[in-house]
Amino acid sequence: MAKKSTNTVAAPSTDLIIKIIQEVKDRSRKKIKTWRDAMQAAEDRDDPRWYLLQDLFSDLLSDGHLGAVMELRSAATLNHPFYVTDLKGEKLEEQTNLLQKKWFYDYIDNCLDAIFFKYTVMQFGRDGDNII
């Protein structure tokens, strides 16, 4: 009787394949058709696919001018004082103090990024009296 070979090649793990896919970025020159196809895929009512457009956005961030414009917009908004007033226009100190925390400025920064990237993911919680 012939002896069966016990030498087998293990299939690559799914985690490794996902990691390789995530690390590969297409830095080639893009064409208008690529952008239009990405927009159509994202705007599809039945099956929106945002990853093509997100890849283009990610690639665009390497442009120094675009990055500077985005930072300028963000800085102009985040450097503006935020406060809460009542109907008479009087400043409400307790509510205003709640907005003068890091969590609020992080929230506003994420909202500004969502305008460009079309989405954001945030999670709010409490650590005692502090919002995190």
Distance CA 53, CA 35 (A): 7
In one letter, which amino acid is 110?
N
Supply the pLDDT for residue 28: 64
Say how far residue 34 (Cα) sits from the centre of its chain.
Answer: 21
Closest CA to 37 of 46, 23, 50: 50
Supply the pLDDT for residue 44: 92
Supply the pLDDT for residue 110: 92
Distance CA 90, CA 8 (A): 76
Closest CA to 38 of 28, 46, 26, 48: 48
List the chain pLDDT tens, one digit each, 132 residues: 555 545 555 555 677 766 666 555 666 667 888 889 989 999 999 999 888 888 888 888 888 898 899 899 999 999 988 999 999 999 999 999 988 988 899 999 999 988 888 888 888 888 887 777
Supply the pLDDT for residue 20: 62
